[in-house]
């Protein structure tokens, strides 16, 4: 049952098993759902090709004592996995491997009876079914471990891992011996989260934070501990992926967008997957949240359906090879999903690449900005403001034109991945770039661009300096942590209430005035860093020179402080913040306070709900402008309207 899967062929009728969506991929290319469908033997994998595999890495069996259908057998469980046409599954019962052991014992018993010639007709059919199942589905053994404070962690292992070895790992994690076979979520005093990550990883396993954004998850929005703890739990080098429940959410906050690598505290972009966490065969008709097997699956683009291939994907930067599973009659359309989400800090759209009108330069500027900021994707041939994509009639010509322009105009050289998406019977070119290793990048020798939420802008002097400092800091961090360790830079720039953020004093009329002790601490608890808004800007200092007002603005996403900003030459969000600061100074009695945090105003701008927020620190008031719900966690969540 848990032996390594050797091929993608079924023993039944000698036909090859189809990929989940019937799509075949080569290289890093990803096609939309309108790609031609393949079937039968034509789907058999050839060397160098990738296919989409349907995966559910969070399944319970009757081995968990909270399994909801107590009459279900392991044979019933196996039949449902087949019915759902899953290619890879993981058995992750609570703090036990009893379910895996029971399945193995049944197969071993039937095999022994077969060897002795004592199989009944029914037993012969059962053994045949188990063998066909093991040829069709890669089954990975594992467990859902309950760490200290109740956080849940999936430990998943290669198929050949012995049950005794898994039990030894659970004992190492301090699961009591008398509870090894119970399958309970409660185990008493156990191991902390980071140690559990390390133990599972060193034992050869794959570490996934279970339902990370939900109950018992390490990334839930009302996280009960301080910011540094959440950063450590979600950025640790031993963590392979986050399992989330909102992978399909395109509007508002989503966990995958939060962990897209654009935040200083969370610089490591995380692979986010979804799993059913099924404690039953079918979804409960009375409670849709109680999912059945395969009801919230993920699709992974792999060359081979193996444990090693899955883990290598989660350790890579190829985030386009992971997507939510779709019904076969409604295949995944990557472009449609992107268009629904619209322009973001890591995504932009252009209908054409014509040199006339500066369209080509705009594409190059976006690529430069993405490389300098957090990486990103450019779609050419589509516009999120229009119902249908226009497409490109000559994709290859446009691709060659952009490649040539990149070589001639962008320095230093920047690796860009090109592929073509098909949607609504048109072709759209997709360009993907990671955050560059040789920042800062520039266009035409002297134009440095950065990404500011949905816009690309020329970097000002302070931003260019910050880019260089960031690279130098990363180099120092790499030297000090070479040989392993966390790649998080959470302590490098942004503190909490005790930061050096130049807080503003509250004037006698409730307006703001520059603090005379700018840079001093208001409090000294670094754990509060998490609870500050992480999107938007803060005006940290203002002064008037020769009749003109100059402001110092802090970008809350990366902590960069831009000095000498005037209202006339400011970018959109900067201009808005300065306008509000100068024309509508905040009055303390007009703020909607909830304790020491408050909302000054909220309105829909550029298709998103944006908030101006206030933080009271003694007699000081700090104001954060243009914050979206993506940047509002902890105490700020109370101001987010329910969906």
pLDDT > 50? residue 622:
yes
pLDDT > 60? residue 161:
yes
Tell whether 370 and 238 lie within a shared domain: no
8, part of any domain: no
Tell whether 328 and 381 lie within a shared domain: no
Tell whether 342 and 234 lie within a shared domain: no
Rounded to the nearest 5 degrees, what angle is found at the Cα of 350, between the Cα atoms of 423 and 347? 80
- pLDDT of amino acid 487: 45
Compute CA distances 24 → 49, 136, 527, whole Å. 7, 18, 47
Q: What is the mean pLDDT of residues 90-102?
A: 98
| Rounded Cα gap, residues 512 and 581, in angstroms | 8
Out of 226-230, 546-550, 569-573, pick the least confident.
226-230
pLDDT > 90? residue 9:
no
On average, the pLDDT of the chain sits at 86
Out of 25-39, 233-247, 267-281, 585-599, pick the least confident.
25-39
Q: Pick the closest to residue 255 from 629, 533, 609 (CA basis).
A: 629
Could you tell me how far CA 45 lies from the centroid of its own chain?
29
Tell whether 323 and 346 lie within a shared domain: no
Q: What is the mean pLDDT of residues 396-418?
A: 97
Tell whether 57 and 137 lie within a shared domain: yes
Tell whether 533 and 623 lie within a shared domain: yes
pLDDT > 90? residue 359:
yes
- In tens, the pLDDT along 275-326 reads 999 999 999 999 999 999 999 999 999 999 999 999 999 999 999 999 999 9
> Which residue has 């559910």 as its token pair?
56
pLDDT > 80? residue 605:
no
Please count the other Cβ atoms lying within 10 Å of the Cβ belonging to residue 373: 25
Q: What is the mean pLDDT of residues 6-22?
A: 37
42, part of any domain: no
Q: What is the mean pLDDT of residues 430-453?
A: 96
The DSSP string of 186-255 is: --SS---HHHHHHHHHHTT-EEEETTTTSTT-TT-TT-SS-HHHHHHHHH-TT--EEE-S-TT--SS--H
The answer to whether 253 and 611 have CB atoms below 8 angstroms apart is no
Q: What is the mean pLDDT of residues 473-501?
A: 52
The answer to whether 391 and 428 have CB atoms below 8 angstroms apart is yes
pTM of the entire predicted model? 0.75
260, part of any domain: yes
Domain residues for the domain of 612 are 495-639
User: Residue ranges of the alpha helices (H) in 454-518?
Assistant: 461-481
38, part of any domain: no
Q: 433 or 8: which carries more pLDDT confidence?
A: 433
The answer to whether 562 and 552 have CB atoms below 8 angstroms apart is yes
* Number of independent structural domains in the chain: 3
Which of 2-11, 157-166, 526-535 shows the highest mean pLDDT? 157-166
pLDDT confidence tier of residue 482, bands split at 50, 70 and 90: low
pLDDT confidence tier of residue 79, bands split at 50, 70 and 90: very high
Domain boundary among 400, 431, 459: 459
- pLDDT of amino acid 18: 36
| Rounded Cα gap, residues 503 and 517, in angstroms | 8
1, part of any domain: no
pLDDT > 50? residue 566:
yes
Compute CA distances 608 → 79, 316, 394, 413, 600, whole Å. 45, 31, 34, 35, 17
| Rounded Cα gap, residues 253 and 247, in angstroms | 10
- 3-class state of residue 302 by DSSP: strand
Domain boundary among 407, 431, 459: 459
Tell whether 260 and 403 lie within a shared domain: no
| Rounded Cα gap, residues 256 and 263, in angstroms | 12
- pLDDT of amino acid 249: 84
- % of the chain with per-residue pLDDT over 90: 70
- With residue 152 as reference, give the H or E element that holds it: strand 152-156
Tell whether 327 and 274 lie within a shared domain: yes
85, part of any domain: yes
30, part of any domain: no
Rounded to the nearest 5 degrees, what angle is found at the Cα of 184, between the Cα atoms of 180 and 185? 120
- With residue 77 as reference, give the H or E element that holds it: helix 74-83
Q: Pick the closest to residue 53 from 79, 83, 18, 80 (CA basis).
A: 18
Q: What are the structure tokens assigned to 212, written together?
A: 């990370």
Tell whether 576 and 436 lie within a shared domain: no
Tell whether 550 and 623 lie within a shared domain: yes
CATH value at residue 306: 3.20.20.140
| Rounded Cα gap, residues 79 and 103, in angstroms | 13
Compute CA distances 146 → 14, 96, 131, 197, 232, whole Å. 43, 11, 32, 12, 17
- In tens, the pLDDT along 48-60 reads 689 999 999 999 9
pLDDT > 60? residue 521:
no
Tell whether 364 and 324 lie within a shared domain: no
Which residues, listed in sequence order, are joined to residue 140 by a DSSP beta bridge? 90
| Rounded Cα gap, residues 545 and 462, in angstroms | 19
Domain boundary among 332, 367, 387: 332
State the greatest distance between any 2 C-alpha atoms of the chain, in Å, as a whole number: 100
Which residues, listed in sequence order, are joined to residue 54 by a DSSP beta bridge? 299
Indicate the angle between helix axes 121-136 and 98-115, nearest 10 degrees.
130
pLDDT > 60? residue 44:
no
pLDDT confidence tier of residue 561, bands split at 50, 70 and 90: very high
9, part of any domain: no
- 3-class state of residue 485 by DSSP: coil
- pLDDT of amino acid 228: 85
User: Residue ranges of the alpha helices (H) in 271-418?
Assistant: 307-314, 334-341, 359-372, 395-409
pLDDT > 80? residue 606:
no
- pLDDT of amino acid 225: 75
- With residue 127 as reference, give the H or E element that holds it: helix 121-136
- pLDDT of amino acid 604: 87
Q: What are the structure tokens assigned to 303, written together?
A: 């060359």
- pLDDT of amino acid 377: 97
Tell whether 74 and 157 lie within a shared domain: yes
- In tens, the pLDDT along 199-221 reads 999 999 999 999 999 999 999 87
CATH value at residue 412: 3.30.950.30
């Amino acid at each position: 049952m848990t032996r390594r899967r050797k091929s993608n062929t079924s023993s039944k009728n000698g036909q090859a098993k189809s990929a989940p969506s019937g799509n075949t991929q080569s290289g890093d290319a990803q096609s939309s759902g309108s790609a031609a469908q393949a079937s039968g033997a034509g789907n058999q994998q050839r060397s160098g090709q990738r296919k989409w595999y349907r995966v559910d890495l969070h399944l319970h069996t009757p081995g968990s004592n909270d399994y909801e259908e107590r009459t279900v057998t392991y044979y019933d469980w196996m039949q449902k996995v087949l019915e759902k046409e899953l290619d890879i599954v993981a058995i992750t019962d609570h703090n036990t491997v009893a379910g895996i052991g029971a399945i193995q014992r049944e197969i071993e018993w039937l095999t022994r009876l077969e060897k002795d010639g004592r199989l009944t007709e029914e037993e012969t059919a059962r053994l045949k079914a188990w063998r066909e199942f093991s040829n069709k589905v890669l089954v990975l053994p594992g467990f859902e471990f309950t760490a200290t404070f109740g956080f849940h962690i999936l430990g998943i292992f290669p198929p050949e891992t012995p049950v005794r070895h898994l039990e030894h790992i659970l004992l190492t994690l301090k699961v009591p011996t008398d509870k090894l076979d119970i399958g309970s979520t409660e185990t008493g005093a156990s191991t902390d989260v980071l140690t559990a990550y390390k133990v599972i990883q060193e034992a050869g396993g794959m570490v996934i934070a279970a339902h990370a954004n939900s109950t018992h998850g390490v990334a839930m929005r009302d996280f009960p501990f301080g910011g540094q703890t959440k950063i450590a739990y979600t950025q640790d080098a031993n963590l392979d992926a986050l399992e989330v429940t909102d992978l399909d959410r395109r509007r508002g906050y989503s966990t995958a967008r939060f962990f897209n690598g654009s935040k200083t505290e969370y610089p490591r972009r995380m692979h986010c997957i979804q799993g059913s966490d099924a404690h039953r065969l079918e979804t409960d008709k009375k409670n849709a949240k109680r999912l059945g097997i395969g009801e919230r699956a993920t699709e992974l683009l792999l060359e081979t359906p193996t444990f090693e291939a899955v883990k290598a994907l989660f350790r890579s930067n190829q985030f386009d090879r992971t997507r939510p599973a779709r019904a076969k009659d409604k295949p995944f359309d990557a472009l449609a999903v992107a268009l629904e989400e619209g322009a973001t800090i890591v995504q932009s759209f252009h209908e054409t690449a014509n040199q006339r009108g500066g369209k080509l330069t705009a594409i190059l500027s976006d690529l430069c900005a993405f490389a300098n900021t957090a990486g990103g994707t450019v779609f050419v041939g589509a516009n999120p403001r229009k119902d249908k994509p226009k497409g490109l009639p000559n994709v290859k010509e446009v691709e060659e034109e952009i490649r040539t322009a990149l070589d001639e105009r962008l320095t230093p050289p920047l690796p860009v991945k090109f592929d073509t998406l098909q949607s609504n019977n048109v072709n759209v070119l997709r360009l993907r770039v990671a955050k560059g290793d040789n920042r800062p990048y520039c266009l035409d020798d002297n134009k440095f661009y950065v990404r500011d939420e949905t816009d690309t802008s020329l970097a000002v002097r302070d931003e260019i300096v910050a880019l260089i400092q960031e690279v130098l800091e990363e180099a120092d961090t790499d030297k000090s942590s070479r040989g392993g360790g966390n790649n998080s830079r959470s302590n490098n720039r942004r503190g909490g209430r005790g930061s050096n953020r130049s807080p503003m004093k509250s004037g006698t009329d409730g307006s703001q005035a520059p603090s005379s002790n700018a840079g001093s601490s208001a409090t000294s608890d670094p754990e509060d860093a998490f609870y500050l808004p992480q999107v938007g800007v803060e005006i940290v200092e203002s002064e008037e020179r020769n009749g003109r007002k100059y402001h110092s603005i802090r970008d809350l996403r990366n902590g960069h402080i831009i000095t000498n900003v005037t209202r006339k030459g400011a970018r959109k969000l900067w201009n808005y913040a300065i306008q509000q600061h100068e024309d509508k100074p905040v009055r303390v009695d007009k703020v909607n306070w909830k304790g020491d945090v408050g909302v000054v105003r909220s309105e829909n701008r550029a298709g998103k709900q944006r908030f101006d927020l206030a933080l009271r620190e003694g007699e000081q008031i700090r104001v954060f402008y243009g914050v979206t719900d993506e940047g509002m966690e902890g105490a700020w969540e109370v101001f987010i309207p329910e969906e």
